[in-house]
Structure 1
């Protein structure tokens, strides 16, 4: 159970990424039915810790709390600066004892320097992915996701993706209800499309024009229907070939792939929030049959609808 969280303050850390960790885990949300954590900011040397923006944050706790925390989180910091060996040791110990370890943005380099990303898949801000791959050749660096989970090590991409990574850990440990509660208080989506390694493979680009925004909104409202390219092209007043070409240019993917992704997202929501049967969910989301839905879950999310519901749905309903 996720109860204790240690955020390690590192010299020259980025205030926003540090704030993301504090915001997700450091606020008592019991008044709205949300989770409450035993949260502490710690440092190798208690006292003033510098930030990239020129002001200091005063930290009162040493690293001892982090040695027993359920989650050790690291904000973004300078990637070329040497990491205090005491911090690296705490991170390695956390991995060895099976605790969660989270990095936000360039905080992944801190994990890399600690040696815990060797042989793992990881990510960081897209500006630094090539550099990270060169610095840590034993790490499989994925530049195209919001975050990656490998075992219980979670690396978030740039800046706001740290929110997605942190909420993912809450979701894994406490269920979708707890993650949704935190997200509502933060006024952010509880699960953006992209970056969850065992459930979401890659982001789906947003439409850049109003005309395609309208057609995609209509598609989402009619997921249970047979939405062929011919039908969508007629609705958009285009030829099928022109529609398919322009849709890919606008969204970065084909109409069928985009539809399947939206159907999966809707199916995930229904599995979490309802007691509908798999056949009912398959019909409502446009997959038609549970076997077809199961095929797409395994292909894209590397899990089955039944396993997904067992992981997230029961706790949401409780």
Structure 2
């Protein structure tokens, strides 16, 4: 207990004040309540010391989601000029134990930004993805790394492809690929578009009903300001309207309806696609497909 330690005897703890009659007072443990009381006292005078650093570690061990403590810790680390590499090593253990804690990754961002060196970060992220390859906080941090250190072409696409080989349905990896291809302000040349069309085609073949590659290529074509008709042949392969029993993808039907709705002489094919979606391949969204069908019919009228 802090009250029994000589090095803390100069500190007057500040207990939490919930008022006289709190409606829903949280039942903190005595250990946590006391530690927070001493932390408040240090924060009140903005103390940056070794003991302040120690108490933040103690509280984070008990409650790793306390973002105020994380921010105070960062300020202390910088003020004392602590070894940032050791702080990263300490963070590694915390991240592996608390996979879904975003405060850890925000703190890591502050430390790595101050360190101005991303060495080893990709390797540690790979460890995190071995536990959960769709961890949102880790992916957000990776995107920050790419932008902060200009890692657009430093093996990022290859790593995304590796992850998609492990799980073609990893929507987070597809999202990161889109970020890499479109997020650097580069022009989507015909060469890039052709590369992405080929890559998507190969992955759709593995799982035609996986929405991720369909959404991905839709985004690529929209960003490149190209018509969806560029993938008409791919769509008709997985959704042959002349042989509905062999349709393998509702997503292909959706895109065909979009393509044909813009061609006056093929609006009947658009309506056929929507009818198939409504009746057989995606009946849970019948109202939506019928709405799109109505819009096409109104436009034709």
Higher strand share: 1
Largest Rg, 1 or 2: 2
TM over 0.5: no
TM-score, length-scaled by structure 2: 0.26
Higher helix share: 2
Whose relative contact order is higher, 1 or 2, with alpha carbons under 8 Å and at least 6 apart?
1
